[in-house]
Amino acid sequence: MFYVQRDAQGQLIRVEAAAYAEATETLPADNHEIQAWYANEAVENSLKQLKQSDFEMIRVLDDLIQVLTQKGVIRVTDLPAAAQAKLMDRTQAREALGGLSQLIDEDEGGLI
């Protein structure tokens, strides 16, 4: 059983497993509104995780490209012009912040 609160239009605005003062009714777990509520919440949580992962992957890819170019495996000019411009912008921004070494947390062991 779930305790729910609705807005003026009758839409769920809060769902809890435990009773709370603002709850206006209870619904069983198999109710379609409860199922939709938690399905939507799961999608939102997954999207948030992906967004955070995207930020982390950008950093990994940036570091990987830098290592590959420093080792001569690829050249920046091998990349499309738009990618070159973005990499140059990031490189300049990182240098303005003191370089790569200050952007890595002390407890990070490295790229891999």
E strands present in the chain? 2-6, 12-16, 25-27
For residue 103, being part of any structural domain is answered with yes
Phi/psi at 4 (5° precision): -130, 155
Phi/psi at 57 (5° precision): -70, -35
Which tens digits make up the pLDDT trace of 77-98?
A: 999 999 999 988 988 888 888 7
What per-residue confidence (pLDDT) applies to 39?
86
The domain total for the chain is 1
Asked if residues 80 and 88 have their Cβ atoms less than 8 Å apart, the reply is no
Show the domain range for 75: 51-112
| Separation CA 39–CA 11 (nearest Å) | 15
Coil, strand, or helix at residue 110? coil
For residue 33, being part of any structural domain is answered with no
| Mean pLDDT, each 10-residue run in order, the chain (112 residues) | 92 90 94 89 82 87 90 93 91 78 51 48
For residue 70, being part of any structural domain is answered with yes
For residue 92, being part of any structural domain is answered with yes
For residue 104, being part of any structural domain is answered with yes
For residue 61, being part of any structural domain is answered with yes
For residue 37, being part of any structural domain is answered with no
What per-residue confidence (pLDDT) applies to 82?
93
